[in-house]
Amino acid sequence: MPRVLLRSQNGYWILDGDTLRVRQIPDVTPNPYDLHWDRFAWLAGGESLVIARLNGRSGSNEGTTLHLIDGSSGEVESSLSLPGDYGQSAPWVEGLTGREVLVHGPGELLVLDFGAEPVEVTSVLGDIFGLDVEYPDEMSASGSRVKNDGSGYTCMQRR
């Protein structure tokens, strides 16, 4: 079932692509400062999504809160607050499975398992790979993506 997250300055809504029915997410409001301060990701299967909401203004060190949302009802199933200074935007989030999310946090990559009670937090580099490196400062990566106009590829490097 295709679903789309809609956002305004006052709220979030889920649009069901099959029925064109819209449901408001009643318990999560967008960050009032700017549209780019929140992030979201649909989880595998499209039954749930995670909204990462910045808890304060830039440099406030108030952290961010991640909300697991049921895609059909719009209800919050679980929430987790992560401490730290996330700058002007909530962290990038990527859906891994129907209950797991990859979070690009300050200085680390985290896997959050919303299927566990309480939510299980795993450091990708430290807990999984046993590395003592700071992400992304002590790493480098490269890759490519299709250009927006479809005419070729753009190479990317991160040091």
Q: HSE (CB half, 13 Å, CA atoms) of 54?
A: 24
Is residue 113, in this structure, part of any structural domain at all? yes
Is residue 145, in this structure, part of any structural domain at all? no
Q: What is the pTM for the complete model shown?
A: 0.81
Is residue 157, in this structure, part of any structural domain at all? no
We report the CATH number of the domain holding residue 115 as 2.40.128
Q: Quickly tell me which residue has 């992304």 as its tokens.
A: 136
- Number of structural domains found in the chain: 1
Tokens (6 digits) for 93: 């989030």
Is residue 146, in this structure, part of any structural domain at all? no
Give the pLDDT score at 106. 81
Burial class (CB in 10 A: 0-12, 13-18, 19+), 46: middle
Using alpha carbons, list the distances in angstroms from residue 107 to 12, 48, 121, 132, 137.
Answer: 29, 27, 15, 11, 8
Give the pLDDT score at 155. 63
Is residue 156, in this structure, part of any structural domain at all? no
**Residues spanned by the domain of 104:** 3-133
What is the spatial distance between Cα 24 and Cα 43, in angstroms, rounded to a whole number?
Answer: 18
Give the pLDDT score at 114. 95
Q: HSE (CB half, 13 Å, CA atoms) of 29?
A: 5
Q: Which residues have C-beta within 8 Å of that of residue 85, sequence separation ≥ 6?
A: 59, 60, 61, 106
Give the pLDDT score at 36. 66
Is residue 36, in this structure, part of any structural domain at all? yes
Give the pLDDT score at 8. 86
Return per-residue pLDDT of the chain as tens, 159 residues: 689 999 888 899 999 888 889 999 999 988 876 666 889 999 998 899 999 998 876 656 788 999 999 999 999 999 999 988 777 788 999 999 999 999 998 888 999 999 999 999 999 999 999 998 877 777 766 566 677 787 776 665 554
Residue type, 129: F
Which string of DSSP letters, residue by residue, matches 94-158? Answer: EE-SSSEEEEEETTEEEEEETTSSSPEEEEIIIIIT-----TTTT--EEEEEE-TTSSSEEEEEE
